[in-house]
């Protein structure tokens, strides 16, 4: 599979920033920006896949609540589950 890493990163940042709810916009964009440059190609794909999930399940997963979908257990999902957004 061939893809441009910079284009994928831009897509991921955009998708994490414009979700539809302010709360999730802030949570996901903060999370994404904090880890995106530390991820390898496979982990970027995992992050992109995670961002395809609906807002409700992402928020529940981050808060440690039961989700209605199965979320793949990988480095990115673990980082997101443990990530705590701190407002300035």
Residue (of 83, 63, 37) closest to 13 by Cα position = 37
Domain residue limits at 58? 5-82
Phi, psi of 6, deg, nearest 5: -65, -40
In a domain, 88, yes or no: no
Instruction: Provide the whole-model pTM.
Output: 0.90
Domain count for the chain: 1
Most distant CA pair in the chain, distance: 40
Question: Which two structure tokens, joined as six digits, stand for 11?
Answer: 């897509």
User: What CATH number is associated with residue 66?
Assistant: 1.10.150.250
Give 13-62 pLDDT, tens digit per residue. 999 999 888 989 999 999 999 999 999 999 999 999 999 999 999 999 99
In a domain, 87, yes or no: no
């Amino acid at each position: 599979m061939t893809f441009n890493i910079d284009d994928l990163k831009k897509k991921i940042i955009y998708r994490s920033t414009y979700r539809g709810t302010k709360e999730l916009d802030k949570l996901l964009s903060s999370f994404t920006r904090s880890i995106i440059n530390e991820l390898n190609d496979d982990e970027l794909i995992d992050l992109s896949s995670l961002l395809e999930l609906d807002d409700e399940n992402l928020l529940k997963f981050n808060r440690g609540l039961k989700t209605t979908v199965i979320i793949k257990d990988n480095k990115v999902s673990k980082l997101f589950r443990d990530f705590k957004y701190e407002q300035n």
